[in-house]
Amino acid sequence: MDYAASREEALARIAQAQDLDALEKLRVEFLGKQGSISGLLKTLGGMSPEERQSTGPQIHALREAVSDALAARKEALEGAALDAQLARETIDLSLPAPDMPRGTIHPVSQVMDELAEIFADLGFAVATGPEIEDDWHNFTALNIPESHPARAMHDTFYFPDKDAEGRAMLLRTHTSPVQIRAMLQQGAPIRIIAPGRVYRSDSDATHTPMFHQVEGLVIDKGITLGHLKWTLETFLKAFFEREDIVLRLRPSYFPFTEPSVEVDVGFAIVNGKRVLGGSGDAPGHGWMELLGSGMVNRKVIEAGGLDPDQWQGFAFGVGVDRLAMLKYGMDDLRAFFDGDVRWLQHYGFSPLDVPTLSAGVGVRP
């Protein structure tokens, strides 16, 4: 057999293939399972050793030449197709620039980022917990036993079924269960904030069934109310970007703290609006209730698996939506969750407004 002739013929036909389909047909014809060259290769098995030694290399060379030619032709055809496409498709540089992106960062997300930035500077990590909780983490471990009136006060959304351990399942009514989860998971010492969604069946201009809180928890040795007050003062000054923020601590009651304090912040009335700053006792000023806090109750530290004789701490909880309203001047909480693009255009933030302590955590372009 004249391998040189077959080779010339095959290469000529490959060179003439006009498109990738035609080329593929040739590949199958030569090298496919039933292909002519594949057939030649199969004859090697039936040859005598001497015959195979002289014929084998020729058949292999034929196969290699054909497969190289197929690859080269394929590349050429693809290149030509690309060139044609590039020649065909043009960009009209006189078209107007596309619109600026329409999306904005929701004020709640922005404020959460601001909180994370401020507290990171004080050595706090951000912790999270599930929004679908069990009643042990949400209530019992926080010293709110079954009969406790606070359970009713929380207007809890319960699920119809209990979990595998027989615990009632619910949508968490506050971020405080993250305190328990953090203690059980990481032990002491702890410095965390836990921002997130919480749920209560309640709805009017200042209450929505879902809203946001941020929890703070410090567990360490020798922690006092003084640490709590300094931390809150430092946080609120950084958050509202005013040095004249004045706090008032009022005795209060929460099952999970002992003693408990309600923290009020002084405000002045400026042009009919409440503006934070200055003592609430000054003429024309007042106090606004802002957050709940206190020294972590011994029972809660125990529920978190820690020894309350060794570890103490403080905790606080505050509404994130409320912080956003106070800082950025919205007056209806429901609008936060309407998804109205006009509201978001007005109150939302550019993705470039990343809060940093150096540039200010509340910059607006």
Q: Which residues would be at the binding site for ligand DAH (CB under 6 A)?
A: 174, 176, 215, 254, 257, 292-294, 315-317
Query: Least distance from C-beta 177 to ligand DAH, angstroms?
Result: 9
Q: Name which of 59 and 295 has its Cβ closer to ligand DAH.
A: 295
Q: Name which of 134 and 215 has its Cβ closer to ligand DAH.
A: 215
Query: Least distance from C-beta 162 to ligand DAH, angstroms?
Result: 23
In 3-state terms the chain splits into helix, strand, coil percentages (rounded to 5) of: 45, 25, 35
Q: Name which of 292 and 348 has its Cβ closer to ligand DAH.
A: 292
Which secondary-structure segment (H or E) carries 40?
Answer: helix 36-43
340: left (phi over 0), alpha (psi -120 to 50) or beta: beta
What count of other Cβ atoms lies within 10 Å of the Cβ of residue 215? Answer: 23
Query: Least distance from C-beta 133 to ligand DAH, angstroms?
Result: 13
Which burial class, exposed, middle or buried, applies to 36 when counting CB atoms under 10 A from its CB (0-12, 13-18, 19+)? middle
Q: Name which of 62 and 295 has its Cβ closer to ligand DAH.
A: 295
Query: Least distance from C-beta 197 to ligand DAH, angstroms?
Result: 12
Q: Name which of 267 and 316 has its Cβ closer to ligand DAH.
A: 316
Q: Name which of 336 and 347 has its Cβ closer to ligand DAH.
A: 336
Cα angle for residues 114, 120, 126 (degrees, 5° grid) = 85
**Amino acid letter, residue 275:** V
Q: Name which of 202 and 244 has its Cβ closer to ligand DAH.
A: 202
Please give the Cα distance from 314 to 219 (Å, whole number).
Answer: 7
Query: Least distance from C-beta 220 to ligand DAH, angstroms?
Result: 16
Specify the residue for token string 């509404």. Answer: 319
Query: Least distance from C-beta 202 to ligand DAH, angstroms?
Result: 12
Which secondary-structure segment (H or E) carries 317?
Answer: strand 312-319
CB 200 within 8 A of CB 83: no
Query: Least distance from C-beta 269 to ligand DAH, angstroms?
Result: 27
> DSSP character for 79?
H
Query: Least distance from C-beta 215 to ligand DAH, angstroms?
Result: 5
Q: Name which of 139 and 349 has its Cβ closer to ligand DAH.
A: 139
Report the candidate in 311, 324, 192, 314 with the shortest Cα–Cα distance to residue 249. Answer: 314
Tell me how far CA of residue 292 lies from CA of 176, 178, 211, 237, 250, in angstroms.
11, 16, 16, 17, 10
Please give the Cα distance from 78 to 84 (Å, whole number).
Answer: 10
